[in-house]
Amino acid sequence: MVMKTISRLYFWLTGWRLEGRLSPDIKKCIMVAAPHTSNYDFGYSRAALYMMGCNVRYLAKKELLNSPLGFFFRATGAIGVERDSSQNMVSRLVEMFNQHEKLVIMLAPEGSRKLKGRWKTGFYHAALQAKVPIVLASLDYKKKVANVGPVFHPTGNYQQDMVLVKEFYRDVSPRYPEKFVLDIC
């Protein structure tokens, strides 16, 4: 309750608003958080999720959890990831979904705030294998809107499913547009 109140105050003070909600019927899902171009993305995303009353886990680089602020990131739901090693994250996510009755995992398929080129596809494969829906969410800095958008179940036809994803993110304005590429197919 306290975090929800603080989050509402944060949004009000910064002029942001929340559009859309995660349906209470969705017990498990992967939430795609894009674009991810700034450190500010974490604050607005986490605040929006507190406002929705959504208990979420999110992927973060392992170094954050080993830093002096590691307790903060773990308390807010961080799951440590070694970005430079192959640790079969898809299998790890599927196993997490299999072990929980209720689980929302938020991740940024860009993998970094830096311009990398193509999105990582693990979010899609993890959702497909775990048989959970994908929820699209965005932060639009021009409109100052945190948006929870469409929900879809991956069909196994990646190219076809990504048409919806591209359409949703096409007009979203990131904090640093030069760092965002919608190259997902």
pLDDT tens-place string over residues 153-169? 999 999 999 999 989 99
Share of the chain above pLDDT 90, in %: 65
Query: What is d(CA 21, CA 78) in angstroms, rounded to the nearest whole number?
Result: 21
Cβ neighbours of residue 142 under 8 Å, at least 6 residues apart? 173
What pLDDT sits at residue 113?
A: 47
d(CA 111, CA 61): 9
Terminal CA-CA length for the chain: 40
Report the pLDDT value the prediction gives residue 95, as an integer from 0 to 100: 95
- The yes-or-no verdict on residue 49 having pLDDT over 70 is yes
Angstrom distance (rounded) from CA 113 to CA 176:
9
CB 153 within 8 A of CB 26: no
Q: Which amino acid is at 64?
A: L
pLDDT bin (cut points 50, 70, 90) of residue 125 is very high
pLDDT tens column, 83-118: 665 568 899 999 999 999 999 999 988 755 455 567
- Decide: 59 and 110 in contact? Cβ < 8 Å: no
The pTM of this model reads 0.89
